């Protein structure tokens, strides 16, 4: 694997380098009412706002990135995040240095290829740079979910993820059209067995229920406000005839498998009739008609905006948010012919996005958690060979999987539960199984013991001395760690507890200062180890704190 | 806490032979157990185990209408099971050939099949339908709490303030896995703890610093911070109890290999036998969304659906045997459900699409074995789907009243409406464990207890009976010999010539297993 930017961003081992001053932090908000809407945010844009923006649009960020963004205007910062990115090179087989994408299926190697694909994607997340693309690619993976467990072909999954990355902040209608014909999706939701003689409703149903307009209250039997059972059946018939072609991992339309009759939709779609077509172009023409009909409904634009809001801001969509944020965003989406980028731009630059009620109000998903930690700590991800890099990245991937979010394996067609299951939403990431496992993960990382089958090598000395210019002061160390690891300041009591009981272990601050000075004046391995032990003790406790689960 | 009085509610029973619950400790000789230990045993009570089949199980190929075979064949010739392969339950009804484990339970009188379970205006979305089953709502209403969560609230209405405590030291409910089901959500908060493995759970929660909490702000951040801290606290509070229960016993029956459901039920059996007072366990198995290739074209008896059904049947069978070996069969009942059944006709992909009603299994020693309700009529469909026969909430409500014995007011709270009682349980079970564990005898009255002495290799053993008085002074000691079925019987005589007061009768087995009953002599 090519050496990626993120490795250059990792702090060096040079402890004599002057440390940056601690980041300023948000003061906690007191109010519990949302009054802000999409009015452009005109307040200060410095490190605290930059950090919030980056937490929500990337997977954690290094201090260097925060500093870089804090020096920008909000306009520049958002423009940087939204800049189009070139497609990354496909994954390679580290044994040969070449890719298997675009080749016929190799069943003997498929198990390995799947692991390489996962590692490759984790590498893109860790090396995300200063772009929202990776966050939005995962958004679509969660939104238009398919999983390897069902699809069973790493080429198909790669193609689907490449499609989602291509349209990460692009045209939603074009994406839905492409996803409908995507080979992985055809396999995952049985589109490939949907024919004129034996219609299979699976994809047609999910297209309406989950992928475009969404399900409203069931106002009568089989009538879900925005569509009906009749529409599901009609949509399924429109979609007949598509199949995947395994040899080339592509899609084919077979006209004699297509239902050529007219498709009558319900009054939810103004009694639209999609005219039955025949011949080689029938599938595309009818699909275009179907999507035009669906995307002409204002509810479709609102549905996408709610999903986006839930991904970037909050799961709490009350009537104020609906009227002040979702409705105007949906109008922007329609005005822009379903191009997503202008919508994201308005949202990220809005008063609402920076409203104190939303800051910190998100539980890190497992990928945020694992990748975010890797962004912060110098974890020593190896670059010697692609094989070694993949091993380390796969370890991170497997740890996220243990916390219930495995890349390429969303549990079902609706994606991961915390993004759709009311009323708990994000809270579903945290329970008595996953929280102790997250705690165990951070312990292992800090202790340099095996995590997910790989032993990382975190340089705690470098981490702390990069954070603070005065490591001889226990209070300064704790303060710097709070600033780097948490969204908000801690209370004076919590801070004192971390300094006195955890870091100093009951000793006086002077004892630590003496120990540090002695080490700086004449460093020995013994002294260095003693110092690292103090740092590790502090970090283990802080990374176990509830505050570290939030972003 | 609202301490329920099962004693008053239970049907009075005298001199009926009863099997004893087993709750082992390290050594038989520890008659003077640590404070609180007897309390824990004495209050142990009935347990409900829920098995969720995620994806929508094809009920028509699970429980086969043998009396409508030609209609069945017409609807799904490409996936139909051969008539002769079906495991007959009675003249009309049979099980999928892969479910020998459940057939055995049926023949042992421990399985009820409830036919055609669903609800009016069925929903075909996995997520919405799952929510409906878990929340016990109408099809057109959204309820954000679960039926089991509300049941637990009716029993422990002040939870979580002051929990764990001496009378309820354990989680009210345990989800095996890492995501707690909506079914266990109360109207105010979650009522359950999720665990994967009792030992690793304990090891992982130690090391969390939970001191010096402040008051979080009233923002989304503050709400999530409080929530996360609550999970930390609960995890820490229950970890020791769960590990201790798990350490107290080992599984006495071998579970099927490569069967995740079996692994989950194995943990459940250990925790129950180990003395947890937890009332509800939820486990799950996925993969039932069989739109394609649910059978192999050349042999419909095999394929992905057969694999799933075999895992289900084998796991339940092993679990029931394990409970029998522990001698705690009396305390446990289980139930399966899936968010919906499948369309009556198969599709062109050797699979089935989302449908409506489907059978449920209710299993346990005290279940009234049999088939409840007629086979669904395969010739009388509604838009290609089976018609509703039994509302799932009627099954829930019958479990609430028939197994947990809760009153009408609480059932109404839990179910939000009233349903007629389905006779899912044999009458003997209405004598609850509470009664069995602690009861009163008039002088001269006799009472017979039975204890299972079976070991893992199915060999029987002798049991040692120790009777002690209120201050643990030994009164008598006796060895009782088990019959070929492994059951040893003991009839109370000793306390009769002693003064009025409370006595404890301990039953111990050679491997250290032990249990007791408390008797008050008037």
pLDDT digit string, tens, across residues B61-71: 999 999 999 99
User: How would residue B45 be classed by pLDDT, with cut points 50, 70 and 90?
Assistant: confident
Mean pLDDT lowest among A153-167, B263-277, B469-483: B469-483
Mean pLDDT lowest among A516-530, B211-225, B250-264: B211-225
pLDDT top residue among A4 and B125: B125
Asked if B448 and B491 touch (Cβ cutoff 8 Å), the reply is yes
Instruction: Give yes or no for A230 touching B (CB within 8 A).
Output: no
CB atoms within 10 A of CB A45: 22
pLDDT top residue among B90 and B12: B90
pLDDT top residue among A517 and B459: A517
pLDDT digits (tens, 9 = 90+) for B85-127: 999 999 999 999 999 999 999 999 999 999 999 999 999 888 7
Look at residue A8 in the predicted model and tell me its pLDDT: 30
User: How would residue B493 be classed by pLDDT, with cut points 50, 70 and 90?
Assistant: low
pLDDT digits (tens, 9 = 90+) for A401-437: 999 999 999 998 999 999 998 888 999 999 888 898 8
Element (H, E) at A444: helix A434-447
Look at residue A26 in the predicted model and tell me its pLDDT: 42
A436:B124 CB<8 A: no
Chain A positions in Cβ-Cβ contact with residue B204 (cut-off 8 Å): 436-437, 439-440
Q: Are strands B93-95 and B63-65 parallel, antiparallel or unpaired?
A: antiparallel
pLDDT digits (tens, 9 = 90+) for A305-347: 999 999 999 999 999 999 999 999 999 999 999 999 999 999 9
Note whether residue B447 is domain-resident: yes
Average pLDDT, chain B: 80
Specify the 3-state DSSP secondary structure of A17.
coil
User: How would residue A30 be classed by pLDDT, with cut points 50, 70 and 90?
Assistant: very low
Look at residue A35 in the predicted model and tell me its pLDDT: 60
Give the mean model confidence (pLDDT) for residues A355-382: 93
Tell whether B205 and B61 lie within a shared domain: yes
Look at residue B34 in the predicted model and tell me its pLDDT: 32
Give the mean model confidence (pLDDT) for residues A84-112: 94
Of B429, B452, B480, which marks where a domain is finished? B429
Q: Compute the residue count for chain B.
A: 522
CB within 8 A of A382, min separation 6: which ones? A388, A389, A391, A392
Chain B positions in Cβ-Cβ contact with residue A316 (cut-off 8 Å): 220
CB atoms within 10 A of CB B246: 21
User: What is the value of ipTM here, to two decimals?
Assistant: 0.85
B414: domain CATH number is 3.40.720
Give the mean model confidence (pLDDT) for residues B405-427: 77
A167: domain range?
Answer: 132-354
Mean pLDDT lowest among A211-225, A233-247, B231-245: B231-245
Note whether residue A11 is domain-resident: no
Chain A positions in Cβ-Cβ contact with residue B228 (cut-off 8 Å): 363, 430, 435, 546, 549-550
Asked if B334 and B261 touch (Cβ cutoff 8 Å), the reply is no
Look at residue B210 in the predicted model and tell me its pLDDT: 61
Note whether residue B1 is domain-resident: no
Mean pLDDT lowest among A13-27, A28-42, B297-311, B503-517: A13-27
Instruction: Give yes or no for A534 touching B (CB within 8 A).
Output: no
Instruction: Give yes or no for B35 touching A (CB within 8 A).
Output: no
Look at residue B520 in the predicted model and tell me its pLDDT: 78
Look at residue B201 in the predicted model and tell me its pLDDT: 75
Tell whether B395 and B453 lie within a shared domain: no
Q: Is B469 exposed, middle or buried (0-12, 13-18, 19+ CB in 10 A)?
A: middle
Distance from CA of A218 to the nearest CA of B (A): 6
Instruction: Give yes or no for B122 touching A (CB within 8 A).
Output: no
B212:A494 CB<8 A: yes
B249: domain range?
Answer: 46-429
How many whole angstroms separate alpha carbon A399 and alpha carbon A368?
Answer: 12
Look at residue B154 in the predicted model and tell me its pLDDT: 83
Interface of A with B in 41-70 (CB under 8 A): none
Highest mean pLDDT range out of A22-36, A352-366, A380-394?
A352-366
Look at residue A31 in the predicted model and tell me its pLDDT: 42
Interface of A with B in 112-171 (CB under 8 A): none
Interface of A with B in 292-321 (CB under 8 A): 314, 316
Give the mean model confidence (pLDDT) for residues A465-475: 94
Specify the 3-state DSSP secondary structure of A531.
helix
Specify the 3-state DSSP secondary structure of B314.
helix
Of B401, B429, B457, which marks where a domain is finished? B429
Tell whether B368 and B294 lie within a shared domain: yes
List of E strands, B435-485: 438-441, 448-452, 463-469, 474-480
Crossing angle of helices A327-335 and A341-348, in 10° steps, is: 140
Percent of chain A at pLDDT exceeding 70: 94
Position B206 pLDDT exceeds 50: yes
User: How would residue B221 be classed by pLDDT, with cut points 50, 70 and 90?
Assistant: very high
Domain count of the fold of chain A: 1
User: How would residue B232 be classed by pLDDT, with cut points 50, 70 and 90?
Assistant: confident
**Cα–Cα distance list, A228 to A125, A234, A423, B32 (Å):** 39, 10, 25, 67
Cis peptide before A322 (omega within 30 of 0): no
A218:B140 CB<8 A: yes
How many whole angstroms separate alpha carbon B272 and alpha carbon B323?
Answer: 9
CA-CA-CA-CA torsion sign (A482, A483, A487, A488): positive
pLDDT digits (tens, 9 = 90+) for A292-312: 999 999 999 999 999 999 999
Instruction: Give yes or no for A361 touching B (CB within 8 A).
Output: yes
Look at residue A205 in the predicted model and tell me its pLDDT: 95
Instruction: Give yes or no for B238 touching A (CB within 8 A).
Output: yes
pLDDT digits (tens, 9 = 90+) for B125-147: 887 899 899 999 998 888 888 99
Note whether residue A301 is domain-resident: yes
Give the mean model confidence (pLDDT) for residues B483-512: 69
Give the mean model confidence (pLDDT) for residues A282-291: 98
Asked if A168 and A128 touch (Cβ cutoff 8 Å), the reply is no
User: How would residue B513 be classed by pLDDT, with cut points 50, 70 and 90?
Assistant: low
Note whether residue A257 is domain-resident: yes
Asked if A305 and A38 touch (Cβ cutoff 8 Å), the reply is no
Give the mean model confidence (pLDDT) for residues B484-491: 74
Chain B positions in Cβ-Cβ contact with residue A209 (cut-off 8 Å): 125
Tell whether B259 and B341 lie within a shared domain: yes
List of E strands, A478-548: none
Tell whether B139 and B242 lie within a shared domain: yes
pLDDT top residue among A329 and B178: A329
Asked if A339 and A170 touch (Cβ cutoff 8 Å), the reply is yes
Tell whether B236 and B133 lie within a shared domain: yes
Give the mean model confidence (pLDDT) for residues A122-136: 94
User: How would residue B20 be classed by pLDDT, with cut points 50, 70 and 90?
Assistant: very low
Note whether residue B472 is domain-resident: yes
Domain count of the fold of chain B: 2
Beta bridge partners of B148: none
Note whether residue B409 is domain-resident: yes
Look at residue B343 in the predicted model and tell me its pLDDT: 96
Note whether residue A310 is domain-resident: yes
Tell whether B35 and B51 lie within a shared domain: no
Tell whether B327 and B441 lie within a shared domain: no
Look at residue A271 in the predicted model and tell me its pLDDT: 98
pLDDT top residue among B401 and A270: A270
Asked if A69 and A371 touch (Cβ cutoff 8 Å), the reply is no
Tell whether B162 and B118 lie within a shared domain: yes
**Cα–Cα distance list, A504 to A107, A497, B4, B213, B352 (Å):** 57, 10, 50, 19, 64
Of B429, B446, B480, which marks where a domain is finished? B429
B470: domain CATH number is 2.60.40.1930
Look at residue B169 in the predicted model and tell me its pLDDT: 86
A200:B212 CB<8 A: no
Position B457 pLDDT exceeds 70: no
Note whether residue A335 is domain-resident: yes
Asked if B213 and B177 touch (Cβ cutoff 8 Å), the reply is no
pLDDT top residue among A107 and B409: A107
Interface of A with B in 495-514 (CB under 8 A): 497, 501-502
Average pLDDT, chain A: 90
Note whether residue B443 is domain-resident: yes
């Amino acid at each position: 694997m090519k050496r990626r930017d993120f490795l250059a961003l990792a702090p060096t081992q040079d402890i004599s380098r002057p440390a940056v001053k601690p980041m300023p932090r948000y003061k906690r908000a007191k109010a519990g009412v949302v009054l802000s809407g999409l009015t452009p945010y005109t307040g200060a844009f410095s490190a605290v706002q930059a950090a919030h923006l980056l937490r929500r649009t990337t997977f954690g960020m290094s201090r260097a990135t925060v500093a870089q963004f804090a020096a920008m205007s909000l306009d520049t910062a958002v423009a940087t995040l939204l800049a189009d990115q070139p497609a990354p090179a496909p994954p390679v087989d580290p044994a040969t240095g070449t890719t298997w994408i675009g080749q016929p299926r190799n069943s003997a190697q498929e198990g390995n290829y799947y692991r390489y694909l996962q590692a490759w994607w984790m590498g893109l997340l860790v090396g995300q740079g200063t772009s929202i693309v990776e966050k939005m690619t995962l958004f679509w993976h969660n939104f238009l979910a398919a999983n390897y467990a069902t699809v069973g072909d790493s080429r198909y999954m790669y193609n689907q993820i490449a499609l989602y990355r291509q349209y990460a902040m692009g045209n939603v209608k074009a994406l839905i059209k492409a996803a409908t014909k995507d080979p992985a999706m055809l396999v995952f939701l049985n589109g490939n067995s949907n024919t004129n003689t034996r219609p299979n409703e699976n994809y047609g149903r999910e297209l309406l229920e989950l992928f475009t307009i969404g399900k409203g209250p069931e106002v009568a039997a089989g009538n879900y406000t925005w569509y009906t059972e009749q529409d599901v059946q009609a949509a399924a018939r429109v979609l007949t005839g598509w199949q995947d072609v395994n040899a080339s991992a592509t899609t084919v339309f077979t006209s004699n498998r297509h239902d050529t009759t007219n498709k009558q939709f319900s009054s939810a779609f103004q009694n639209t009739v999609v005219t039955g077509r025949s011949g080689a172009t029938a599938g595309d023409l009818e699909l275009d008609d179907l999507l035009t009909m669906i995307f002409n409904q204002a509810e479709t634009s609102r549905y996408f905006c709610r999903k986006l809001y839930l991904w970037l801001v909050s799961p709490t969509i009350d009537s104020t948010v609906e009227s002040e944020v979702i409705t105007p965003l949906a109008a922007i989406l329609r005005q822009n012919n379903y191009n997503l980028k202008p919508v994201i731009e308005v949202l990220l630059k809005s008063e609402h996005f920076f409203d104190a009620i939303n800051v910190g109000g998100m539980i890190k998903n497992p990928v945020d958690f694992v990748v975010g930690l890797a962004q912060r700590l110098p974890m020593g991800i190896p670059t010697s060979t692609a094989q070694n890099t993949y091993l380390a990245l796969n370890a991170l991937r497997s740890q996220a999987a243990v916390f219930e979010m495995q890349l390429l394996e969303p549990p079902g067609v609706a994606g991961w539960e915390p993004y759709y299951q009311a009323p708990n939403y994000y809270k579903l990431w945290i329970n008595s199984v996953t929280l102790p496992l997250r705690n165990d993960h951070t312990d292992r990382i800090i202790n340099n013991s095996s995590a997910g089958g790989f032993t990382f090598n975190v340089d705690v000395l470098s981490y702390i001395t990069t954070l603070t210019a005065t490591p001889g002061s226990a209070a300064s160390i704790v303060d710097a760690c709070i600033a780097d690891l948490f969204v908000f300041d801690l209370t004076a009591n919590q801070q004192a507890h971390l300094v006195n009981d955890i870091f100093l272990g009951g000793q006086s601050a002077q004892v630590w200062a003496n120990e540090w000075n002695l080490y700086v004046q004449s460093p020995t391995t013994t002294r260095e180890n003693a110092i690292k032990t103090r740092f590790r003790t502090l970090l283990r406790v802080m990374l176990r704190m509830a505050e570290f689960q939030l972003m | 806490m609202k301490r329920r009085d099962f004693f008053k509610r239970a049907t009075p029973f005298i001199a009926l032979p009863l099997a004893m619950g087993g709750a082992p400790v390290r050594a038989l000789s520890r008659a003077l157990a640590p404070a609180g230990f007897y309390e824990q045993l004495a209050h142990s009570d009935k347990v409900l185990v829920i098995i969720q089949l995620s994806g929508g199980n094809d009920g028509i190929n699970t429980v086969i209408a043998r009396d409508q075979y030609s209609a069945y064949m017409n609807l799904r010739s490409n996936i139909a099971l051969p008539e002769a392969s079906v495991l007959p339950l009675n003249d009309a009804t049979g099980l999928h050939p892969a479910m020998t484990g459940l057939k055995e339970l049926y023949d042992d009188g421990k399985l009820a099949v409830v036919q055609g379970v669903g609800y009016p205006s069925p929903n075909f979305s996995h997520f919405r339908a799952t929510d409906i089953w878990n929340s016990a709502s109408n099809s057109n209403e959204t309820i954000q709490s679960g039926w089991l969560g509300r049941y637990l609230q009716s029993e422990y209405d002040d939870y979580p303030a002051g929990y764990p405590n001496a009378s309820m030291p354990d989680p009210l409910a345990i989800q095996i896995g890492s995501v707690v089901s909506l079914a266990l959500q109360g109207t105010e908060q979650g009522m359950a703890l999720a665990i994967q493995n009792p030992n690793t759970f304990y090891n992982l929660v130690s090391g969390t610093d939970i001191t010096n909490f402040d008051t979080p702000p009233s923002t989304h951040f503050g709400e999530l911070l409080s929530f996360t801290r609550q999970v930390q606290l609960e995890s820490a509070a229950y970890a020791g109890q769960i590990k201790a229960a798990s350490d107290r016993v080992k599984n006495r029956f071998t579970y099927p290999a490569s069967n995740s459901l079996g692994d989950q039920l194995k943990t459940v059996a250990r925790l129950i036998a180990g003395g947890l007072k937890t009332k509800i366990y939820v486990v799950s198995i996925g993969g039932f969304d069989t739109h394609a290739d649910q059978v192999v074209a050349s042999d419909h008896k095999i394929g992905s659906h057969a694999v799933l059904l075999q895992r289900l049947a084998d796991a339940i069978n092993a679990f029931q045997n394990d409970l029998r070996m522990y001698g705690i069969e009396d305390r446990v009942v289980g139930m399966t459900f899936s968010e919906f059944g499948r369309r009556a006709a198969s599709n062109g992909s050797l699979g089935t699409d989302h449908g409506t009603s489907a059978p449920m299994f209710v299993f346990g020693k005290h279940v009234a074995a049999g088939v409840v309700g007629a086979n669904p009529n395969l010739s009388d469909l509604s838009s290609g789907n089976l018609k509703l026969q039994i509302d799932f909430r009627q099954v829930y409500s019958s479990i609430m009243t028939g197994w947990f014995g809760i009153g009408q007011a609480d059932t109404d709270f839990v179910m939000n409406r009233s349903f007629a009682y389905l006779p899912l349980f044999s009458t003997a079970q209405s004598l609850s464990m509470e009664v069995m564990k602690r009861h009163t005898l008039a002088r001269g009255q006799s009472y017979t207890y039975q204890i299972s002495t079976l070991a893992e290799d199915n060999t029987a053993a002798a049991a040692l009976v120790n009777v002690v008085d209120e201050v643990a002074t030994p009164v008598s000691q006796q060895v009782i010999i088990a019959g070929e079925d492994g059951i040893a019987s003991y009839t109370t005589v000793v306390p009769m010539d002693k003064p009025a007061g409370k006595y404890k009768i301990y039953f111990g087995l050679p491997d250290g297993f032990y249990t007791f009953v408390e008797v008050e002599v008037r």
